[in-house]
């Protein structure tokens, strides 16, 4: 496992060396969202009975930050390695595709959770936060960051230049994240759009994560957990298949 540990350490060190950009900047962005939306809608919107809108917003912002930064970590690492040509130093050692997958995804989980924790710490100054089911908070945070780390790995493998990776992030990851219930409950949507929202796997990550704070959610959290776990198993199998075949990695 020395190869796995070395690659994992390299990936963590890669984003931690520039933590001002990779950790602090997303925290400030989430704080701006909270300040603007919380100030504008507080007192005007009550999504759940007895839950202020600012309280409702905090878990969504935390999870959104976790997801976006987990994706950014693995995808940016791979595309940079491919373009600069140093990917060969990862491929030459006798690393199994399991070790590569584990190192990239686990490092993405670390970054996602670090950013999420930072967002949570700065936002709880606005309003006290309760924990109704902490196990669900941890489960969905870890699974969500692992899923987006895996999607970032797939995007990094498929992309050949930064423009392609940016298209993947701007036209897939960002819309799915913002339309997953971060700023609203799907119960407030018309029937058609409520059903469309249920097709978004990101919705189940955020809805289940929010349940951990309030004990309230749009659907059964166990169903969300099953869907999220199944989705992770699917994309993990795809990512490991791509790694095992060397697709767009070994030219």
**Count of domains in the chain?**
1
Domain membership of residue 251 (yes or no) is no
**Does 125 have pLDDT greater than 70?**
yes
Q: In which band, very low, low, confident or very high, does the pLDDT at 188 lie, cut at 50, 70 and 90?
A: confident
Query: 97, 240 in Cβ contact below 8 A?
Result: yes
> What is the pLDDT of the chain when averaged over all its residues?
90
**Does 251 have pLDDT greater than 70?**
no
Q: Which pLDDT value is given to residue 196?
A: 86
Domain membership of residue 192 (yes or no) is yes
Domain membership of residue 101 (yes or no) is yes
Domain membership of residue 250 (yes or no) is no
The CB-based long-range contact list for 159-167 (8 Å cut-off, 24+ gap) reads: 159/75, 159/78, 159/79, 159/82, 160/82, 160/248, 161/79, 161/83, 162/79, 162/83, 165/75, 165/76, 165/79
* Full domain range(s) for residue 175: 2-245
Domain membership of residue 23 (yes or no) is yes
**Does 184 have pLDDT greater than 90?**
no
Q: Which residue has the higher pLDDT, 17 or 194?
A: 17
Q: In which band, very low, low, confident or very high, does the pLDDT at 118 lie, cut at 50, 70 and 90?
A: very high
Domain membership of residue 98 (yes or no) is yes
Domain membership of residue 102 (yes or no) is yes
Domain membership of residue 180 (yes or no) is yes
**Does 250 have pLDDT greater than 80?**
no
């Amino acid at each position: 496992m020395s190869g796995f540990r070395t690659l994992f350490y390299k990936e963590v060190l890669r984003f931690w060396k520039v933590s001002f950009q990779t950790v602090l900047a997303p925290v400030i962005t989430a704080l701006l969202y909270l300040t603007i939306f919380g100030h504008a809608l507080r007192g005007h919107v009550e999504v759940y009975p007895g839950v202020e809108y600012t309280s409702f917003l905090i878990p969504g912002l935390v999870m959104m930050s976790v997801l976006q930064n987990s994706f950014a970590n693995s995808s940016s690492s791979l595309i940079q390695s491919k373009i600069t040509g140093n990917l060969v130093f990862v491929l030459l050692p006798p690393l199994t595709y399991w070790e590569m997958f584990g190192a990239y995804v686990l490092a993405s989980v670390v970054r996602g959770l670090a950013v999420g924790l930072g967002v949570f710490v700065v936002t709880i100054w606005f309003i006290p936060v309760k924990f109704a089911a902490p196990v669900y908070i941890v489960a969905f945070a870890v699974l969500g960051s692992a899923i987006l780390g895996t999607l970032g790995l797939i995007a990094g493998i498929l992309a050949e230049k930064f423009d392609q990776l940016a298209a993947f992030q701007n036209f897939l990851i960002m819309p799915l994240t913002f339309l997953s219930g971060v700023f609203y409950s799907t119960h407030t949507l018309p029937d058609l759009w409520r059903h469309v929202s249920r097709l978004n796997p990101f919705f189940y990550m955020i809805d289940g994560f929010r349940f951990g704070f309030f004990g309230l959610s749009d659907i059964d959290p166990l169903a969300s957990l099953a869907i999220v776990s199944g989705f992770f198993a699917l994309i993990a199998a795809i990512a490991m298949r791509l790694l095992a075949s060397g697709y767009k990695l070994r030219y």
